[in-house]
Chain A
Amino acid sequence: MEEGKPITKNVDWMVVLIYIACLGIGWVNIYAAVYNPETHSSIFDLSNNAGKQLMWIGTTFILIICILVIDYKFYETFSFIIYAIVIFLLVVVLFAGSNINGSRSWIKFGAISLQPAQFANLAVSLAISKYLSDPAISLTRKLKDYYPILGIIILPSILILLSNETGSMLVFASFAIILYREGMPGFIPAIGIVSAALLIISLLYNSWYIAGAIIFIAGIVIWLMPVMTRRRGGLMATVLIAIVMISIVFGVDFFMNNVLQKHQRGRIMVLLDPDSDPRGIGWNVIQSKIAIGSGGFSGKGFLQGTQTKFDFVPEQSTDFIFCTVGEEHGFIGTAVVVTLFILLISRLVILAERQRSRFARVYGYCVAGIFFFHFLVNVGMTIGLMPVIGIPLPFFSYGGSSLWSFSVLLFIFLKIDAQRPFTLSRG
């Protein structure tokens, strides 16, 4: 904190308010999700998830105060050290972790269990920001500058994968956003998105139809192309892209039918069509959609949700907390939550852009990206737009580790942002 300037004056209150709103709505919904109409347990009852979450919220506030008190330079200086500590914990957990829900990813400190994987996001964000804060590094020109970033990401990925927390690893995909912002050519994410779309489409529809559609679109593109472009290789490029896309389509088809075993194929198909296995993997998605859908426009009312309460929806208070919002508060409730998230991450991007240091900016983008990815996947899976991947909804899902890690992630950035008037640009 700088001379006499209270932190309260410079901290971005909009983000803080959204954060508090999310915590409050989340807490109330956790209570609703675990509420048992037969026992009428209190929201403060420490034996249920709502009571425990209140305890976690309390400890989180202590944590936030610590973050705000610590000098902002600490995070930049100790980036790599924090990264190293988290890597160390990830290794420790592989050998000494407690087994909870089938994954050995928890460390027990007395009564409290922590999941180091949850803090990997923070460590990787700090490490990437620190690495990119060197002005000599350019993602636009030098390919070799990407290698350290890949290393920073891959190392914890392997460790997390080994401890069976695939969902947490997939979150690292969110770093594509900051790489794009810092100069990664646009065609790379574009290719990524198009490939993913092609993959899904080729699983759903007949390959020949897709091939026909691609040729048709390519034809239109060439026809609309200015003559000059066409002469200068535009024609060849379009044809080439079309051929590559068609090969992907048939490749996927071949892979699905000839390489994969039948049961493996089933597991992939069920992601796209939950109805193909309504009692197995598809169950979660179907029940979640019913819960949200049955909420209607204004919801069934607080504590009136039945799909979530009577165990139709799995993991009601953690990964599927969004169902409770949807069922009890209807479209009004879900729209509020979606809006809160989009406001939060957009605000974070705006804050990141106004940073003077590159470290702060990159870190801000990392935070926005991580929240966005969690939102995208978690809400997406409850409404059947994303495969079921077990990652929490930030600030809403029950769980100490995730609440702590998201709060720390966010408030480190707010702290850095609050010091912005007193920092000088170095990048």
Chain B
Amino acid sequence: MLENRRFVIIGFFTLIGIIYLFRLFYLQVLDESYSIESSSNSIKRVIEVPFRGQIYDRNGKLIVYNTPVYDLLVTPNKVKVDDTLRFCRVLGIERREFDSLINAAGSYSRNKPSLFLRQLSKEDFASIQDIMVDYSGFEFAKSSMRTYKAATLANTLGYVSEISKTQLEKQEEPYYRQSDYIGQTGIEKIYEHELRGKRGTKFIMQNVAGVYKGAWKNGELDTMAVAGENLYSGIDIDIQQYADSLMVNKVGSIVAIEPKTGQILSMVSAPTYDPNFLATRHFSRNYTTLYRNPYKPLFNRPVMASYRPGSTFKLIQALIGLQEGVITPNSGFTHANCPIGCHNHPGTPTVALGVTHSCNPYFYNVFRRIIYNNKISNTFKASAVGLDDWHDKISKFGIGQQLGIDLPSERKGNLPDKKYYDKIYGENRWKFSNIYSLSIGEGEILITPLKMANVAAIIANKGYYYTPHVIHGIGEKKVLKPEYAVRHETGVAAHNFDPVIEGMLGAVEGGTARRSRVEGISIAGKTGTSQNKRGMDHSIFIAFAPVEDPKIAIAVFVENAGAGGSAAAPIANLIIEKYLTRNVTNKALEKRIMEADFMKNVILPAPPKPVIKDTAKRRQGIPMVPVEKPMPKVINWFKRF
């Protein structure tokens, strides 16, 4: 029955139709590999990396901004480089480097683009862009490079670098991707969230030759990149640079604070480096160089280095003594019956003169009275109770605490309490005679330069402080973080500050710091000489000025520079004068300080290791080789069967 063959025929037609429908359903609906995002062919998903927020100084000067650069990305599976040698020559890399870069990219993903070369300047990009068309698998991505206008403030600002593997794995919300930049230290780290902005996604169309053909669906699916928020710092960049110049060839710190607000005016960690040094694509090499430097330029001394405060601590002892009522402004002490020696100075019948001449026995007695200011007759027990009481009061000055500055790794320092000495001597086995070094800021107490600057601010404010902070405004609205608007009280009454300030004035006018006094500015200061096991004493000075209306409070620490009056005090006073008048009158002093080399006194923990030179010789930037234009290749896309 031949007519019945029509059923076979129609059945066959229908079968083919059904097969095709299944195939189409698979291709179009089930198989994700052809979806818009993964086929990445005519429609490309472009990640828009927003500009990182910029940072300004207190006078509106730009300190940190971004320079547009180009990254070269590679998709290992698409790579087709016929002439590797020429390719390497164009990019200025070596064959070995080429292989390792491709392998590194391949270990991340073979189908997705990953970083090949970072941060090509605009000029480099322009000269190699045309040539790159010949090599498939490579593409450029716009990027930016962090640029620091002034070669200063390196440790405070911190640096950004490629996110590490651990950071990538540890992130709470999956935001960062391989080869993203992230703030690693300093302000860049603390304000990472504000600075980074919001990444955008754009779908763009391109034709077969890779030529941009406009936004897909008029950009309906695109999300805009939102630039990071700008930060406004209290740093005075001119003063900062001036302070830097004074700290050349010295190891130490300077912290200057505006007492009324707690804003950091200047923060020097010496020795320092140009922050741009860590912003280039030679980051790892440069970082290693800094890391191996025996003077530890990466160590942020103002918040991380702890010193014995020396005589500067006497100010706090006096304040506590006055507040406790164990002394009055007119209490006087002599050198008699004191185990601590003193230098030759006029008599100290008042607190002010005690401060001015920095009399050790005076504060031995003051501390003794503070410790024994209770009714316990057992000296061991009385010392224990007295010390804890003292500890609580000192804590209010932020000592032994984390102040909460907007910088990472702030150290607490050490403010010993009963527990601390119990551990050393055993409970009830120590008393005042074991701890009297504390009276003059020696012994077990350790304070960071930041905290000493804060103490100066407290005295300037007569009793309160705002947590020191670098950034006082986030974004266009200049939002102040709420924790920096809180006024911290020290519990010492304002009138008790007067004799101390009077003593500090005296110290600068005719006391320990008289050699660096500034004509026309009333500076209240206190020198300190911090004993330490390694070589010469550290030179310390804290001050604020002008006394009538304090605008700047400062702490200067210079390692192994001797007495406070010799190095730290002149530096502090030069900065104060420069900040208040924008001018320095004592040019001779300025010159002497700038030329002084205290670095040579610093005894390094171990002989510096010889810096091993990188064996792979890299070149700065990209040497440009003129490359002949390739012949345009005519491709016959369609071949008939």
Contact = CB atoms under 8 A, between A and B. Distances in A.
Interface in B288-310: none
Nearest to A346: B10
Contact of A339 (B17, B217, B640): B17
B641 to A, nearest CB: 4
A304 B205 CA distance: 10
Given A177-B9, A182-B2, A293-B39, A379 B20 contact: yes
Contacts of A300: 36, 217
Contact of A290 (B6, B41, B638): B41
Contact of B28 (A103, A297, A341, A342): A297
Contacts of B205: 306, 310
A280 B635 CA distance: 9
Contact of B34 (A182, A293, A315): A293
A389 interface: yes
Nearest to A101: B640
B482 to A, nearest CB: 49
A22 B253 CA distance: 83
A345 B9 CA distance: 10
Interface stretch (B111-119, B208-216, B551-559): B208-216
Interface in A342-361: 342, 345-346, 349-350, 352-353
Given A310-B213, A342-B14, A388 B641 contact: yes
Contacts of B20: 338, 379-380, 383, 385
Contact of A334 (B28, B36, B217): B28
B9 A180 contact: yes
Given A293-B35, A342-B17, A284 B637 contact: yes
B29 interface: yes
Interface residues of B, number: 44
A390 B16 CA distance: 20
Contacts of B19: 385
A314 B638 CA distance: 6
A140 B31 CA distance: 47
Contacts, number: 149
A331 B9 contact: no
A338 B24 contact: yes
Interface in A281-331: 281, 283-284, 287, 289-290, 292-297, 300-301, 304, 306-307, 309-312, 314-315, 326, 330-331
A398 interface: no
A32 to B, nearest CB: 14
B245 interface: no
Contacts of B640: 101-103, 166-167, 388-390
A375 to B, nearest CB: 8
Interface residues of A, number: 66
Contacts of A181: 2, 5-6, 9
Contacts of B10: 346, 349-350
Interface string B21-55: 10111011101011110010111000000000000
Contacts of A297: 28-29
Contacts of B641: 166-167, 387-390
A210 interface: no
A345 B13 contact: yes
Contact of B207 (A140, A177, A311, A387): A311
A338 B28 contact: no
A186 B3 CA distance: 13
Contacts of B43: 294, 306
A353 B216 CA distance: 51
Nearest to B11: A346
B428 interface: no
B41 A312 contact: yes
Given A310-B213, A311-B207, A349 B9 contact: yes
Nearest to B216: A306
B17 A338 contact: yes
Contacts of A341: 17
B206 interface: yes
Contact of B23 (A284, A287, A383): A383
A349 B39 contact: no
Given A310-B205, A342-B13, A385-B20, A292 B27 contact: yes
B389 to A, nearest CB: 75
Contact of B206 (A101, A310, A330): A310
B639 interface: yes
Contacts of A281: 639
Interface string A378-396: 0110010101111000000
Contact of B21 (A167, A289, A301, A338): A338
A380 B22 CA distance: 12
Secondary structure class of chain B's binding surface, majority of residues: helix
Contacts of B31: 293
A166 B639 CA distance: 12
B37 to A, nearest CB: 9
A346 B34 contact: no
A240 interface: no
A312 B41 CA distance: 8
Contact of A310 (B2, B14, B207): B207
Given A310-B206, A380-B20, A383-B20, A180 B29 contact: no
A372 interface: yes
- Interface core residue of B33, B209, B213 (most chain A CB under 10 Å): B213
A421 interface: no
A37 interface: yes
A335 interface: yes
A326 B13 contact: no
B36 to A, nearest CB: 5
Interface in A135-183: 140, 166-167, 177, 180-183
A397 to B, nearest CB: 14
A323 to B, nearest CB: 11
A334 B29 contact: no
Nearest to A287: B41
B634 to A, nearest CB: 13
A91 interface: no
A376 interface: yes
Nearest to A295: B28
Contacts of B35: 293-294, 296
Contacts of A335: 21, 24-25
A312 B28 contact: no
A296 B17 contact: no
Of A339, A342, A372, the most chain B CB neighbours within 10 A belong to A342
A390 B637 CA distance: 13
A307 B42 contact: yes
A331 B34 CA distance: 13
Nearest to A180: B5
A310 B207 CA distance: 4
A26 to B, nearest CB: 18
Contacts of B206: 310
Contacts of A326: 24, 27-28
A331 B28 contact: yes
A283 B637 contact: yes
A311 B208 contact: yes
Contacts of A183: 2
A177 B118 CA distance: 63
B35 to A, nearest CB: 6
A37 B216 CA distance: 11
A387 B640 CA distance: 10
8 contacts: A38-B213, A292-B27, A294-B39, A301-B217, A306-B42, A312-B207, A331-B24, A352-B6
Given A290-B41, A385-B20, 20 more contacts: A38-B214, A166-B641, A167-B641, A186-B5, A279-B635, A290-B39, A293-B39, A294-B35, A295-B28, A296-B29, A296-B36, A300-B217, A306-B205, A307-B39, A310-B42, A311-B207, A334-B28, A372-B16, A389-B641, A390-B641
Interface of A: 37-38, 101-103, 140, 166-167, 177, 180-183, 186, 279-281, 283-284, 287, 289-290, 292-297, 300-301, 304, 306-307, 309-312, 314-315, 326, 330-331, 334-335, 338-339, 341-342, 345-346, 349-350, 352-353, 365, 368, 372, 376, 379-380, 383, 385, 387-390
